[in-house]
């Protein structure tokens, strides 16, 4: 598990979270982050946006409707809009990477999503995220059809 990939995932999650929170398109937030990082003198706290972060955000956006439908369908007892914003966006990112990114081992995707949930959400979130993504893993062949 590379540290650079972990950082890229965390940044992608933060971009999805910000877009969701502000109710704007994730590509708009991604463009803002890229522009800020490329300013001649970016603020010290300005995160760099790498290639993999861009791939993840763009990939989610491409499959957003399908991913949100899957989350809604399989998140027992939760509607998408009632779900904590952190969990919703960790699941969005994890679902995209698990189902459509072939270059990453499934176990790594699950571990990383759980780690992001541990860092940014509630004590119950890691198990919730892991359970739902594990379900998507079982369904992956039929989802991709």
Distance CA(11)–CA(53), nearest Å, equals 6
Record the pTM. Answer: 0.94
Q: Is the distance from CB of 34 to CB of 82 less than 8 angstroms?
A: no
Farthest-apart Cα atoms in the chain, separation? 48
pLDDT at 130: 97
Q: What is the pLDDT of residues 45-72, one digit of tens each?
A: 778 899 999 999 999 999 999 999 999 9
Structure tokens, 144: 């991709």
Q: What is the pLDDT of residue 1?
A: 55
Closest to 99 in 3D by CA, of 54, 137, 145, 129 = 137
Over residues 96-116, mean pLDDT: 96
């Amino acid at each position: 598990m590379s540290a650079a990939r972990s950082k890229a995932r965390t940044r992608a999650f933060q971009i999805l979270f910000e877009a969701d929170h502000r109710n704007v398109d994730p590509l708009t937030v991604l463009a803002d982050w890229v522009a800020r990082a490329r300013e001649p003198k970016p603020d010290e706290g300005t995160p760099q946006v790498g290639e993999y972060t861009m791939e993840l955000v763009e990939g989610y956006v491409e499959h957003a409707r399908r991913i949100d439908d899957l989350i809604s369908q399989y998140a027992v007892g939760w509607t998408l809009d009632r779900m904590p914003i952190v969990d919703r966006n960790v699941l969005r990112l994890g679902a995209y990477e698990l189902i459509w990114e072939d270059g990453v081992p499934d176990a790594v995707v699950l571990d990383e999503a759980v780690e992001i949930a541990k860092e940014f959400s509630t004590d119950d979130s890691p198990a919730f995220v892991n359970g739902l993504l594990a379900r998507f893993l079982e369904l992956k062949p039929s989802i991709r059809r």
